[in-house]
Amino acid sequence: MSVYQHPIIAKEGWPYLIGLGIVAIVLTKFFGVLIALPVWIVFLFVLQFFRDPPRLVPVAPNAVLAPADGKIVVVEKTFDPYAKRDALKISIFMNVFNVHSNRIAVNGRIKSIEYFPGKFFNADLDKASLENERNAVVIDANGQVITLVQVAGLIARRILCYAHVGDFVKKGERYGFIRFGSRVDVYLPLESEPLVSVGDTVYATSTLLAILSDLDS
């Protein structure tokens, strides 16, 4: 196994933490701890939300890794509207207490990236996949197609994606972040063997989502 290189606290969180920290310190100094307490509580919530812990990358050549922390809410055969093919879909719902850093699920080259503005329904609803704001990354993994879709949620209002078309990506690499409660949909070839079920808790990079035949390590 190799270790995912992580920033411990996601870079996306530093502006919030610095701002809240300054406010909390000023309130504590001039008005006392009781007045500042609500701000300190929010500071701690934001701190835990933007944590980005280390993860071991499994040496599993044919495995598709979880791109996000959360709970499995969908495992079904459906149509992948981004790669235009029938696919096995596995969806992960992230609540506000999950790590929201998104990682790459397979080794491969990015074929396309599409951003879609949309609504902000609760991300654990099925309609969120096609109606909410979202960003789809299609990866060519040794001739097989894997689609990762970041979906905004009821509270999430910002999807961040740092990947680019043509990039060669590796399992466990950090490629994006979704701010405050959301979902990631994974579309796989129909012949993939799912290793998770609805209701399971998964962890980005650490959890094996499915087995995909003839996938390079």
End-to-end CA distance of the chain: 12
Cα–Cα distance measured from residue 129 to residue 111, given in angstroms and rounded to the nearest whole number:
20
Give catalytic status of residue 182 as yes or no. Answer: yes
Catalytic residue among 182, 192, 197, 206: 182
Closest CA to 153 of 125, 131, 121: 121
For the chain, percent helix, then strand, then coil, each to nearest 5?
A: 20, 40, 40
CA-based max dimension of the chain:
64
Joined tokens for residue 105: 């699920």
Block residue for tokens 């990236």: 113
Question: Is 170 in contact with 192 (CB distance < 8 Å)?
Answer: no
| Torsion sign (Cα): 36, 39, 40, 41 | positive
Block residue for tokens 């044919």: 62
Q: Could you give the 3-state DSSP secondary structure of residue 89?
A: strand
Cα–Cα distance measured from residue 207 to residue 194, given in angstroms and rounded to the nearest whole number:
12
Q: Which residues are catalytic?
A: 182
